[in-house]
Structure formats: structure tokens, C-alpha cells
Structure 1
Amino acid sequence: MDKVRSSAVDMLVEIEKGGAYSTILFNKYVQKYDFSDQDRGLLTELVYGTLQHKLTIDEYLSDFVKKPQKVQPWVMNLLRISVYQKVYLDRIPDHAIIFESVEIAKKRGHQGVVKFVNGVLRSFQRATLKDLTKIKPDIKRISVMYSMPEWLVELLVKQFGLEEAEVIAESVLTAPSVSLRMQDPNADRDAVIESLIKQGMEVVPSVVSPLGIRILNGSITKTQEFQNGEVTIQDESSMLVAPVGNLKASDQVLDTCSAPGGKTTHMASYLAASQGGKVVALDIHDHKIALINQNVKRLHVEDRVDARKLDARCAAEEFGEETFDAIYVDAPCSGLGLMRRKPDIKYTKKYQDMEQLHKIQVEILNSVAKLVKKGGRLIYSTCTLSNIENNLTVMDFLASHTDFAIDPIVELDYLNESLQENGTIQILPNYYYTDGFFICRLVRI
């Protein structure tokens, strides 16, 4: 039996149940079967590709599977990966797709299941692909064409308008890029790029962050820069967060939601232990504290980072008033800005999640407000697109904290389409094909 396709089916079933994140599952299956690089590539393609286009695939299947809710989950997902290969991949012949799927059905199911799978796929193979552009109304058309739940399409339309919402929905179907951040803010990016190219990498400078390098091709973990801790993997949008804190070498910094530590190590790069500069990095899970410390060690900033297990909402009980020059709240959020990288987010999140997260975000901001020195900075950021978690959270906080005000992030004016009227940053996934991100800088008056 084809282990790759069978594993893809199992992973999709587990994700559909809501019992696992795709990234964690992927690593589990790769370790279990010790897949080759080629097989890992196919598994990635099948799982993430099918997830990205799931609602579109289901629309294509709807003419051939009349009652999908009565079909066993593994059978439905077997059909989905088969249709994905047929519609979106051109290197796998139709006969091979059907043969492999039928073989999996034979191993897993009875003869009736085998006939069902074979019949559906052969009927689909003979049929003309449905024209999705004719679907009405627009909300449903966008939902089906770009595989995004209707409630989420409605949210994007309400916030950004119909045309922009459709562009966003289409953009998150593109493959995510991998990018690097230079750990030394004073490093020569051109020299690093030249060195990486000499080692067989295909890279270009980021247009989003002056410290960023986008990888087009190659294995970064084998390069001397990665192994020496000179560069680390981080999305270009999130590289903007640490610098907007305008950190000085001697600053006392609190990173309230710090795992896995990418932004923490970036903050630490602006500090000097010899001048007393330090980042206190918080998280509520032991294994995430271990991950932060692992990244801190790899990037050689152990002398400037103190990782502690603590719920950020309890920070006021742990630290004295006006302790920190800068506090960063990279808040727990719905993660809608990560849909390109984590397509399962589209199907697992609900609007009610955002309302609950909004409350938690405001609680964290309230908890740390008194810990900021007068004249100090409070940086609020999320990797989501929803206004309820972004501007509304900031407005709710400011309504009860008149000693804070938005400090416009004018230094990022080269990202002019991302700079909002109130001085906050909202990067949409279609702007630079990075993660969607929101950043607000507040100052204590």
C-alpha cells in the first residue's frame, strides 16, 4: 500500500477531527515512516494542498457524492486527495491516481467501498470540470473558489470590501515562503546573501524587513550562518515587531507571550548585557520555555534573556510598577494571518473564538500597563486579520488607560499600503506574500 498517500489520508482525518495541528502531525508521520526527501515532498503537497483547496474539492465532488456526511471520513479524504492530484497536479497520470486510491480502498475497506471509490473517481475523470465563476452570490462564489468558509469571507468583505477580500482569499492559496532574519542588526545583508549563494542557496533580500532574506531554494539548516546562529528562520512580517520598540542597549524589556522565541532573540539583539540590558520572556508552558531557551542558546543571547513560566495576565503580581522600558504583547490570536502557512486554521476557527481572544488580549494589556515606565513603549501585535482582535482591542485598552496613546509607526512608511490612518500597521497576506500581521506602538504619557 502507498504509505505516503495512506499517511496523507490519516493526517487529514485527524486534522478534520480537530485533534491535531497539521505541523505537529506532519513531523510525527515523517518520523514514524522515515520518509525520503521525495516522499516528504509528496506528503507535504498532498496534505497541505488538499487542505488549502478542501471546500473547492468538495464542490467538485458534490455531483458524484450525494451524501458526503454518510461517507466514512477516511474514504472522503481519500477521494479528496485523489481529486486534488487530478485538478491541481499535472505530473501524476489519471490512471496512477485511480490505481493508488483503489489499492488503498482494497486494503482498508470492503468491496462496496472499493467500487464506490473506483466509480466516483472514474466518473470524475470523464466529467467536465465545473465552472465555479458562475456561482452566486459573491460570498458563496469566493468561498467555493478559494476554499474559505463563508463566515470568514463575510468578515473580510466587511473589513476590506469585496474586491480586496477576494484578492486576500486568492493570495493565501499560494505557497508560503521561508525567510531568514540576521541576528546581528548591524550585519551586512549583502555579504550574508553572497555567502549563502556561494553555499548553493537561492536567496533574495526581503522588501519588508532590512534584516530579512527570503529563501527561494535550498536547505538553510546546512549553511554555516544557520549553524553558527548568525541567521534564524522567521517570517518577514514578524521581523518588524522588535525594532518598533526603539530599544536601547540598557533597556529592561518584557516579552509577555514569547514562545518559540523568534521575537525574543530579536529584541535581545538590540541589548547589551554589559549595560544591564535584559529581556524577561514569559510563557505558560514548560515545553515552550524549553524551546525559548533552545533558541536563545543557538543565537548566543543567553546573557540577555531570562525565560520564566508565567501567565502574562498575572504579570502585575510578579513585577513592580514602572519596571520596564518596553513591553511587548504578541498576543494569543486566531492566527488568520497564517492561513497560507497553516491552512487548517480556515476550518477550525469560529467568530466566537475571536470574541473570546479579544477579552484575553485586553486582559493582558491591562495587566502589564502599570509595568511600563512613563515614556516607555507598549508594543501590541498579532498574526491575525480580524479587526476585533486588532484595532478594537487597542481602542478598548485606550478607553480605560488615558495615560497611553498610539505612537504612529511612521518609520515604516516604505510599507505605505500597510500603514493605517491611526498609525498602526496592518499587513495583509496579499501585500508582500508574507504572513498577515498587525502592529501597534503605544507610549505611556
Structure 2
Amino acid sequence: MKPKKIAKHIQKNPRYQAMALLTRVEGEQAYSNLLVNQVIEENNWSPEDAGLFTELVYGTLSRKITLEYYLRSFLKPDQSVEDWVFQLLLISLYQLEYLDRVPAYGIINDAVDIGKAKGHGGIGKFINGVLRNVQRQGVPDTSLISDELQRMSIELSLPKWLLKRLIASIGKEETVALGLSLFEPSKVSARVNTDVMTREQALTALKEEGFDVESSAISPVGIVGKKGFLAGSHLFETGALTIQDESSMLVAPSLRLEANHQVLDACAAPGGKTTHIATYIDAHQGQVHALDIYEHKTKLIKENAKRLQVEQKITTHISDARDLEQAFPSRDTKFDRILVDAPCSGFGLMRRKPDIKYSKNPKDFEKLPELQYEILEAAAKKIKQWGIIVYSTCTILEEENQQVIDRFLANHPDFETIDVLGSQMVPKAVKNQSVSLYPHQYMTDGFFICCLKQKG
């Protein structure tokens, strides 16, 4: 049976495309952040339509557990609904409950039209009936849910297992604040390439180009965009600017770099932190050695380095970070500084990648702490006397962060933790001489940074 031909004006509708994308995310375990830009480019929408599409995708995903709970109360028990219809209803529910730009009749009529166009008249009637009931009755009152963990899970749209871990780590009050903060849109931030210009010069140039930007309060080389697509700026194109979260801009300064240092970035791709490190290095005195296990990822590092005009300071290597002695076989090859930006579960990125909340479970990353520890062990053999290893992740789970550090220190009395340089910019996140940055504290990605010094 041939797929039904859908009118172009329906296919171009941001709500239709949001439904199609969320159906793919659910069915194929695809990553929404990769698909969103692709869909926007393909449809060549106005900024308003592109903004609506993005809002619908990320808003619906960020509140998925909440919206599914609401929707189930308007369906019969065990009622089977096609995936795309279910996603269309979730999007419409999100609009009805959380957006106020479009009146309810417009949201419902649009959903019915899409249902008829993709399905048939009966589906249109079903969608109309469900959404009219929502409009008449209102969504269920979650405060009536007696099980506290279940209620928190539905209200914060976080799985129960993750809630339990967060509550054990930071307490109930902070966990609620964290969960609510994930409903806020991500800030767009960028790092100024100080090899090319100062932050003040970059701010002036961006404002002249029409961008609404301000200085980051967290990083002295960071810019926060309140309006505008910074990756489309002239500064980005010419290598004076690169997109990077404010939290990850704290990593390079924490290495306490000097111009003549030999630095190893053990898990370097795609090269954001590598190129930041390079701005501290003099190409005639020092060098940044960027390592990744895959050749196509080392190509990304090279591309980023070339665009940011720091390629002469960076040498790439293809190798497993757990076997640095194979990558650098000479006993005399040791580094002043080593960055272990370890592979992790990525739970610090839940605001910009809400899929992570639902697509991962504890079994998916139970082996990660062992991998992270093995990379740290390998780094310890390649650091110079009095050298510094910085361990960082973009997760907020203690088993991937502080517990890995505790294990390493227990087995390496010749290392000690030292203060993270720059941590004074995020005082709420300082814990055990490390930075444990949670997404709600400064509205950044969640991040962990710990500095380990070889005592000699």
C-alpha cells in the first residue's frame, strides 16, 4: 500500500514536522538535537515558524512524562493509538497547557487537519474528541497522587530511578529545583577565540551584526546570546567565535596552563576544549596532543582547529585513551598537563538534550565508571612530576564523578586534589575542592571538574 500523499502546506506546517520528528525519536531512538537543525534547513521556514517548531519539539520532550500522564487520563485503558497520533496529541496538549500565543480552537483545528491529512476523517474526529475533552475537563491534578516519588516523577518529568539518585546526592529540595530548571530553554553561549580578538571586541562586533548578547558571568571568554543564531555570525565563520557551553569553558583554565606546556587531551573530539587549551599555548614552545579512538573524530578536531586558527598548536593522534603507553611508547614522553574529559552518560545535558532523561537507564552506563577510572590510571603514568591531571565529565551522577576520584586517590597516594582555578565564578558548585555544577545553579549544562596534582 502506497503511503498517503499529504498536501505541501500540511507537510510544511511546524506542528506536522514536530509530530514527525518526535515519532522518529520515539521509534528509532534518534537524537532530537541532531534532527531539529536538519528539519529547519530542509523547510526554509521563517524565524517565527522555526522558533515554533523548536519550541514544540523541546517543550514536548522536556515534559514527556507529565504530558503522557495527562493524555492517558483521556484515553480508554489499554486503548491502542498509532505512534504519530499519540505524538500529535502530546504536542497539542503541550500547546494547550504551556503556550498562550495560539488560541485553543486554533490548536485543535490544526491538529484535526493534520490528523485527517495523514490519516483519515475518523482519526480527525478522534483527535477532536480527545482535545475537546481536555479543554472542557482540564488536566488531572497531580497533587492528588499519594505516592510522593510517583508525583515528583510526573511533575518534573524525570524517571523514578534518576530522582532517587539525585535526592540521595543533593536532597529533595535541590532535586525539585533542578527538575523545574530543565523546563527552561537552554542559553546559547559561545567562547571568544582570544588569539583573534578580545571579548569586548567580539561583543561590539556581534551587536553591530544585530545580535543581542552579553558577557558570561561564569567565564571571562564567554558570551551569552539572548537572541540570534550565533553559529551563523560572521565571527563564527571567521574563527573568532565557537559555540561552547559556559560550564565547559571552566575546564581549560583549571589546567593552570603556561605557554611552553606539553598538554595531552586524552578524549578530545570534537575539539571544543582542545582549541580552548590551545589559546594558552605558544606554538613555538608548547603543543596540545589531541587523542581520539576514531579517525573521523580526529578529523573534526582538525577542522575545528583550522577554523579557529590554532592548528599549528595541535597534533592529533588516533588511539585508545586507556592505552597511552602504546600511543606514546617512549618512557621519556610525559606531559605537563593532561585533560581527561571522560566519556560519560551525559546527564548534565538534559536541558538541551531532553531525550537523555528517557532513553537511558542505569544498565546503559554501569560500565562507564570502570572505563573512566582506566583512562585516569593511564593518564597517571604519563604525567610529569608535579604535573596536573584534570578530570571532567558532563554528567551529574556521583558514581561517574566523585566516586571515580575517590577510588583513584585511594590507589594513588602520590596524587592530591587542588582547587579548581576559576571555581570562584561558580561558588554554589564547589564541593570537596571540585566543581559539581548542576543545571539549576547557573542555568548551564551540568558539569564536574576535579584537579589532581602529582606530588612527586
Q: Same fold (TM over 0.5)?
A: yes
1:348 maps to what in 2?
Answer: 359
Contact 1:354/1:388 (8 A) holds in 2? no
- CA distance in 1 between partners of 2:276 and 2:397 (Å): 26
| Contact 2:231–2:242, Cα closer than 8 Å, also in 1 | no
Match of 1:20 among 30, 34, 48: 30
Normalized against structure 2, the TM-score is what? 0.92
Deviating above 4 A after TM superposition, structure 1's stretches of 4 or more consecutive aligned residues are: none
Write the distance in 1 (CA, Å) between the matches of 2:300 and 2:293.
12
Aligned to 2:266: 256
CA contact (8 A) 2:33 2:352 kept: no
How far has the Cα of 1:111 moved from its partner?
4.4
Give the secondary-structure state (helix, strand or coil) at the position aligned to 1:274.
coil
Determine the C-alpha separation between the residues in 1 that align with 2:451 and 2:380: 13
Aligned length: 443
SS of match in other structure, 1:29 = helix
Segment of structure 1 superposing worse, 196-205 or 253-262: 196-205
Structure 2 SS opposite 1:295: helix
Counterparts of 1:186 and 1:411, CA distance in 2: 22
Residue 4 (structure 2) aligns with: none
Alignment of 1:213-224 (within 5 A): 213-224=223-234
Relative to structure 1, is the Cα distance of residues 380 and 76 closer, same or farther in structure 2, using a 3 angstrom cutoff? Answer: same
**C-alpha displacement of 1:444:** 1.4
| 1:409 to 2:441 alignment | no
Match status 1:231 vs 2:241: yes
Partner Cα distance (1:38, 1:7) in 2: 14
8 Å CA contact retained: 2:262, 2:335 = yes
User: Is it true that 1:87 corresponds to 2:97 in the alignment?
Assistant: yes
Identify the residue that residue 147 of structure 1 maps to in structure 2: 157
Q: Is the contact between residue 281 and residue 307 of structure 1 (CA under 8 Å) also seen in structure 2?
A: yes
Counterparts in 2 of 1:213 and 1:306: CA distance versus 1, 3 Å = same
Provide the C-alpha distance between the structure 1 equivalents of 2:16 and 2:210, rounded to a whole number of angstroms. 34
* 1:192 matched residue in structure 2: 202
Q: Deviations over 1:363-388 (max 9, x none)?
A: 21122220111111111001111000
Instruction: Note the 1:22-41 alignment, pairs <5 A.
Output: 22-41=32-51
Per-residue deviation, 1:265: 0.3
Which residue matches 1:284?
293
* Aligned residue number for residue 215 of structure 2: 205
- In the alignment, the residues of structure 2 paired with residue 286 and residue 207 of structure 1 have an alpha-carbon distance, to the nearest angstrom, of 36
Q: How does 1:60-75 map to 2 (within 5 A)?
A: 60-67=70-77, 70-75=80-85
Per the alignment, residue 384 of structure 2 pairs with 373
Residues 217 and 425, structure 2, Cα contact 8 Å, conserved in 1: no
Counterparts of 1:264 and 1:96, CA distance in 2: 49
The residue correspondences of 1:37-116 to structure 2 (distance < 5 A) are 37-67=47-77, 70-116=80-126
Tell me which amino acid in the other structure corresponds to 2:435.
I
User: 1:434-445 counterparts in 2 under 5 A?
Assistant: 434-445=444-455
Q: Which segment is superposed worse, 137-146 or 332-341?
A: 137-146
Gaps of 5+ in 2: 1-6
One-letter code aligned to 2:27:
K
- Post-superposition shift, 1:36? 3.6
Structure 1 equivalent of residue 3 of structure 2: none
CA distance in 2, matches of 1:33, 1:196: 27
CA-based RMSD of the aligned residues comes to: 1.9
Match in the other structure for 1:360: 371
Q: 2 CA distance for matches of 1:69 and 1:419?
A: 49
Residue pair 1:329, 1:381 contacting (<8 A) in 2 also:
yes
Question: Using the alignment, how far apart are the partners of 2:157 and 2:80 within structure 1?
Answer: 22
Residue of structure 1 equivalent to 2:181: 171
Structure 1 runs not aligned, ≥5 long: none
Is the 1:410–1:423 Cα contact (8 Å) retained in structure 2? Answer: no
SS in 2 for 1:313: coil
Separation (CA, whole Å) in 1 of partners of 2:416 and 2:20:
50
CA displacement 1:393-421 (0-9 Å, x = unmatched) = 1112222223222122265234221111x
